[in-house]
Amino acid sequence: MALYLIGDVQGCDAALQRLLDTLDFSPSRDTLYLLGDLVNRGPDSAGVLRRLMGYGDSAHCLLGNHDLNLLAVAHGARKPHRKDTLGCVLDAADRHAMLHWLRHQKMAILLHRGDRPLLMVHAGVLPQWTAEQAMNLAREVESVLQGARAAEFYQSMYGNAPQCWSDALSGMDRLRVIVNALTRLRFCTADGAMEFETKEGAGGAPAGYMPWFEVPGRKTSGASVAFGHWSTLGWLDRPDVLSLDTGCVWGGALSALQFNLQDDSQHLVQIKCPAAQQPGK
């Protein structure tokens, strides 16, 4: 039995098929963990969703910012962006089944792995959060997405404020900070004020900001945090950080990390991908 972490697919179903063929993946034997942005900007988001739905419990998927965008557009809370490629889902006869499945996916996943827990998120974790707190906060968002308040949530999900986390936050402000951290975060200040405009690599931090995983005293430093979202960062392999968005949709690579829960061993597999969009996210 093999376990794989896979970076941002973004609607590139043919690339995902090639990667899984390279891995000799079998849903009866192996398990996939996809780190979010399953859909959008690539040519076949519907194919990706149908494939992963068909794998059942062999595919565990996180929600990324593009996945939440699809849900918001589908519910009339947001207009499609000019670069969106979501029509194959929105116009499909099985649209309802795909959207139902998507909104029941996770915002974070935590596994025990050797001496370090393995926390999976799409984008980042605020420095004040432990891995366990990140999981609890993720469940708050999942509960709303799967419940009767989902339409209200989509209407209020977008915005950059509040910039910082506080345990006293409530309502939509609280949910928005959680979503922004887990699905949009790249840079923040030492006290966790988030910045969302900059999309360069780690060396492109605005004055006063740093990559979220470089904040001194970050409470998840004792875990391995695996994430996607940051194609300009690319593959990063540290004991505390595993970055797996290698820009498949932009002509980079689609990456899978085979890992062992018992001894921390791991092996990276990548396939080159043709560009489906011009760079930019």
Per-domain boundaries in the chain: 3-272
pLDDT given for residue 281 in this prediction: 46
d(CA 74, CA 99): 8
Percent of the chain clearing pLDDT 90 (strictly above): 93
What are the angstrom distances between the C-alpha of 189 and each of 133, 136, 209, 226? 20, 23, 5, 21
Residues forming a β-bridge with 236: 243
What CATH class does 3-272 carry? alpha beta
d(CA 65, CA 150): 16
Residues forming a β-bridge with 144: none
- Nearest of 101, 110, 183 to residue 141 by alpha carbon: 183
Of the pLDDT bands very low, low, confident and very high (cuts 50, 70, 90), residue 279 is: low
Q: Which residues, in sequence order, are CB contacts of 30 under 8 Å at separation 6+?
A: 1, 2, 3, 4, 23, 58
Task: Confirm if 2 and 40 have CB atoms less than 8 A apart.
Answer: no
- Residue 8 backbone phi and psi in degrees, to 5: -60, 120
Q: What is the pLDDT of residues 3-54, one digit of tens each?
A: 999 999 999 999 999 999 999 999 999 999 999 999 999 999 999 999 999 9
Going by the DSSP 8-state scheme, the letter that residue 214 receives in this structure is G
Q: Any idea which of 118-122, 170-174, 259-263 has the lowest mean pLDDT?
A: 259-263
d(CA 185, CA 196): 7
Task: Confirm if 127 and 188 have CB atoms less than 8 A apart.
Answer: yes
Residue 280 has pLDDT above 60, yes or no: no
pLDDT given for residue 265 in this prediction: 84
pTM (whole model) above 0.75? yes
